[in-house]
Structure 1
């Protein structure tokens, strides 16, 4: 580039006021009077350089980038960016691309690592659950009070198991609250968090979860043994079975065990004798499992197996007798492999909202969020006085312009809050708390919406990414109109281009263009030949199939193609004088109809894919040349020299 300014259109007399030396993100190029900043060029240039095997020089890439922006300018001139379909699609992309910017990613990373670390350790626990069926605030309060009372009894020295057996409201009370070993991800998050914070012998405070109030005791901790692949043979013992039936079931299980010891195949016996029909069809094989997924009796016996192929003696569980075989075992997968599963797991519990909540807290500090607590108290007291939040409550506050909360010079009033509340809904249970909660929900939503509205301004990477998506969508649509679709549908243009450039498509080998026809006898073959004389090539297969064949009888089989030697045995024999082809006894009479093309294709349709691609390249070249004449382009060479190449 010899000149300081590269002007590719007639632009004499510009003042260049858009170029300021002190600009932290100077304009590197102007296309059709639209500024393109250095940061956008660097972003695209470095991203493409990392992805391309054939590295382009900076000058080469400037030309590519300029042509890319010219096509975008043409799309804008055609109004593609103003269509509702385009705007809707781009808005959908922005919604997805914005999500990582509206959470505190460090919180998600920390929680994911925490979850993974807890998968590497097992904690042996018992618990007492109170309030399993508590629904109303009053019932929850009573359950919490009861749980606090039981905890005080434990602190006073009463036996945990006895209290669990007496008071706990879930099935573990039958085992004095014992749950066995758990690993990370096997329980609700509040339970897991409390359990993994305890040392052996310690008891938690009262822990609230979606199921009620828990008191947790940890008995021991151990490294997680990994994941196991087991098979089992099950002899089901019915509930309320008589002693005689129980004895017979045990005898059945032990008989199977003796057969296995004598060398019988485990998978075969599982298929034939196991009462677990779901696994029997797979030779008794269970899915890969880890700690905490079986009842204690099964798990204790199964996890005690050391070597692949080892089997247990018959083991009694609440469901019946099991004979268990260890098929395989493996360590926990690396964190990066587990991360997608961990993220999905976190999204289903309290952790799913923690990164968002952390970002809201951060933004409230950054934007000077202020809540008028006096106004909130008035709203709460009104809900208390009215006894519910409904349309009457909304009507009572919908004209109140008193400020409720504000941030970054944005003020939201009580009337705004009335507009935010769901219409047509009545909340009569704990209405005051509902109002407090909804004020928080509204504040969080508004501050996140504000942040989302200024992502392009705040984050250059996001701005560049959105520009990339926007321009990419425009480029695709305008290129499809001007090149791709045009080339595929312009049959006259394709044929004209082919005739002009026919020598480009010279073949190394002769091609036979035509049909291979297999008939059931000479009479059919004669009739087929006669009929073909009156048909154009494109209708041969359809017409002959319809006239000579039925659903139950095939008198002629037709294959159309452009064949080289070695592709079809009948063409090899009849055209290229090769070895005899194998005769189909049902269709023994074979002939070909067509022509031998020795060096060149006859029509562009013979090499349609290649000609279409070349024609597209030609159309694009002509199009780009016209765009360079149509739109002014200016390049700042001084800024170009400062591009940071990664």
Structure 2
């Protein structure tokens, strides 16, 4: 239905309602999101908004049918949508510019210093627990000093490899990039030249003697940016991008700390006073207690984390309102899931077991499946002798085609040495060299080595006799037919209204 008039004068001039599907409004911005996103995949190039609007209305009708069927209420469905949203919102809750600048700073530092690139190392390593006894520690140090002295006198690759094999808790060489291993390990490894061996040194894991096997140059910033960001956050236990975003949001939402309440909390460990205000709402010591119960840490660290979580939680609630693109991304994912589910119920599950429906559809549209050139439907028989091939061909003539392969297997190939090799099907010119030779009079085909005598049995046909010969095409066509019937039913039982005046303004406002 096309509509206009006073009933639509109330819509927002900024983002007017473009259509109503089953009573639900679709804003112009939502339609534009889908239209512009799908534009790249239009098979025929440009599709006018007027034509796309009909497709989009059908899409919305199917989603509405899925909602009516309650498919959006399943726990697994809701969890999928929530997990997808959680992946998307990370970028909205992080100041990506701060992260990239920090990653660039670290990269430049790595490139300028000895930590550039990667080093492949082998090491003699003894693990030392944190509560190692003094006696065990002295014994480990003495052992490593003895190994180092031996290596200093025997500076051959074989000597170092032998010590690794005999004494080390870690036997395999490995690559080291900056921010990947403990600082103590990296400081030593990156200072060494290829082939050089370190003196014994400690890390939090134990005691090491390291040998650098080879070095690689520093990759480009774009290649290592993500890895640098992750490693820096892991090592320092903080995400500066999130912290920077929280500081921005504090200003945006009027964050105001209450010094009296915070001081009392830090001094006594508890308070009922207001700790801070955010977006006009007071957050008190009671709110903090509930958070702190699930976040064991010192009181100051708990308070900082509580403030950060409160700011991020509030922003999380506001994201879809602030960023329509995010809202439409999540909604699109949800709708596509629902579309797949309802289509599976209405179409796919019907096609699978519906052999009779496929055959009936094929019979009704048989003329659609005629071939432009004749094909050969039959069997190709390769035999060990001319007599065997002749016998097999004569025998198969008395049997239905669907029994041919079993007859060959049980009659001619039952013994230890098969006598016939058979190929059965429908062949176009060029599909099989023997059919081309014997049926379509093409090039002479070279005989098979073990089965040098060949004959064919069958006939030339202009079209398939059974839908299974062109099953993929029939399934696709039958599916499209069922979908058209479904859409017709949805259109008959639902109401679609499109505001043509608003539709004319798509991507032009």
Structure 2 length-normalised TM: 0.73
Which residue of the partner structure matches residue 359 of structure 1?
245
Q: 1:317 to 1:106 in 2, by over 3 A?
A: closer
Q: 1:525 to 1:337 in 2, by over 3 A?
A: farther
Q: How far apart are residue 438 of structure 1 and its match?
A: 1.6
Distance in 2 of aligned mates of 1:443 and 1:98: 19
Q: 1:544 to 1:531 in 2, by over 3 A?
A: farther
Contact 1:297 1:317 in 2 (8 A): yes
Which residue of the partner structure matches residue 39 of structure 1?
29
Distance in 1 of aligned mates of 2:423 and 2:266: 81
Which residue of the partner structure matches residue 20 of structure 1?
10
Distance in 2 of aligned mates of 1:376 and 1:482: 59
Distance in 2 of aligned mates of 1:108 and 1:549: 72
Structure 2 runs not aligned, ≥5 long: 120-146, 166-173, 179-185, 200-208
Which residue of the partner structure matches residue 473 of structure 2?
610
The match for 1:628 among 482, 491, 509 is 491
Q: Does 1:105 align with 2:65?
A: no
Distance in 1 of aligned mates of 2:86 and 2:384: 64
Structure 1 runs not aligned, ≥5 long: 8-13, 124-180, 187-237, 254-273, 279-285, 300-314, 384-396, 428-432
Q: Does 1:65 align with 2:61?
A: no
Q: How far apart are residue 509 of structure 1 and its match?
A: 2.8
Alignment of 1:366-377 (within 5 A): 366-377=252-263
Which residue of the partner structure matches residue 6 of structure 1?
2
Distance in 2 of aligned mates of 1:603 and 1:352: 67
Distance in 1 of aligned mates of 2:375 and 2:68: 47
Instruction: Show CA shifts across 1:526-569 (max 9, x none).
Output: 5898699778738946993899468x865554433322233223
Q: 1:184 to 1:519 in 2, by over 3 A?
A: closer
Contact 1:115 1:184 in 2 (8 A): no
The match for 1:508 among 365, 372, 375 is 372
Q: Does 1:241 align with 2:174?
A: no
Which residue of the partner structure matches residue 168 of structure 2?
none
Contact 2:116 2:217 in 1 (8 A): no
Q: 1:605 to 1:444 in 2, by over 3 A?
A: same
Q: How far apart are residue 34 of structure 1 and its match?
A: 0.3
Q: 1:456 to 1:185 in 2, by over 3 A?
A: farther
Which residue of the partner structure matches residue 544 of structure 1?
409
The match for 1:454 among 314, 318, 339 is 318
Contact 2:49 2:506 in 1 (8 A): no
Q: How far apart are residue 444 of structure 1 and its match?
A: 1.8
Indicate the SS of the match to 2:20: strand
Instruction: Show CA shifts across 1:603-632 (max 9, x none).
Output: 111111122222222222232233222211
Q: How far apart are residue 40 of structure 1 and its match?
A: 0.8
Indicate the SS of the match to 1:596: strand
Which residue of the partner structure matches residue 495 of structure 1?
359
Which residue of the partner structure matches residue 169 of structure 2?
none
The match for 2:279 among 408, 411, 425 is 408
Indicate the SS of the match to 1:561: strand
Instruction: Show CA shifts across 1:379-407 (max 9, x none).
Output: 44455xxxxxxxxxxxxx7xx75544442
Distance in 2 of aligned mates of 1:371 and 1:51: 51
Q: 1:246 to 1:351 in 2, by over 3 A?
A: closer
Instruction: Show CA shifts across 1:192-249 (max 9, x none).
Output: xxxxxxxxxxxxxxxxxxxxxxxxxxxxxxxxxxxxxxxxxxxxxx743399x648x5
Q: 1:31 to 1:325 in 2, by over 3 A?
A: closer
Distance in 2 of aligned mates of 1:18 and 1:294: 72
Contact 2:30 2:328 in 1 (8 A): yes
Which residue of the partner structure matches residue 503 of structure 2?
640
Contact 2:277 2:283 in 1 (8 A): yes
Q: 1:317 to 1:336 in 2, by over 3 A?
A: closer
Contact 1:548 1:554 in 2 (8 A): yes
Q: 1:242 to 1:477 in 2, by over 3 A?
A: closer
The match for 1:182 among 99, 106, 115 is 115
Q: How far apart are residue 508 of structure 1 and its match?
A: 2.7
Alignment of 1:588-599 (within 5 A): 588=452, 590-593=454-457, 595-599=458-462
Q: 1:627 to 1:419 in 2, by over 3 A?
A: same
Instruction: Show CA shifts across 1:234-271 (max 9, x none).
Output: xxxx743399x648x59x99xxxxxxxxxxxxxxxxxx
Distance in 1 of aligned mates of 2:82 and 2:411: 52
- Find runs of 4+ consecutive structure 1 residues off by over 6 angstroms: 274-278, 286-293, 322-326, 531-536
Distance in 2 of aligned mates of 1:414 and 1:644: 50
Contact 1:368 1:407 in 2 (8 A): yes
Q: Does 1:474 align with 2:354?
A: no
Q: 1:338 to 1:296 in 2, by over 3 A?
A: closer
Indicate the SS of the match to 1:101: coil
Contact 2:273 2:284 in 1 (8 A): yes
Cα RMSD for the two superposed structures = 4.6
Contact 2:117 2:219 in 1 (8 A): no
Q: Does 1:438 align with 2:302?
A: yes
Distance in 2 of aligned mates of 1:485 and 1:565: 36
Which residue of the partner structure matches residue 227 of structure 1?
none
Indicate the SS of the match to 2:377: strand
Distance in 2 of aligned mates of 1:347 and 1:532: 76
Which residue of the partner structure matches residue 203 of structure 2?
none
The match for 2:291 among 404, 408, 420 is 420
Instruction: Show CA shifts across 1:267-304 (max 9, x none).
Output: xxxxxxx99999xxxxxxx98999999665635xxxxx
Instruction: Show CA shifts across 1:397-452 (max 9, x none).
Output: 7xx755444422444443433333346x9x7xxxxx71221222223223212221
Contact 1:520 1:555 in 2 (8 A): yes
Indicate the SS of the match to 2:423: strand
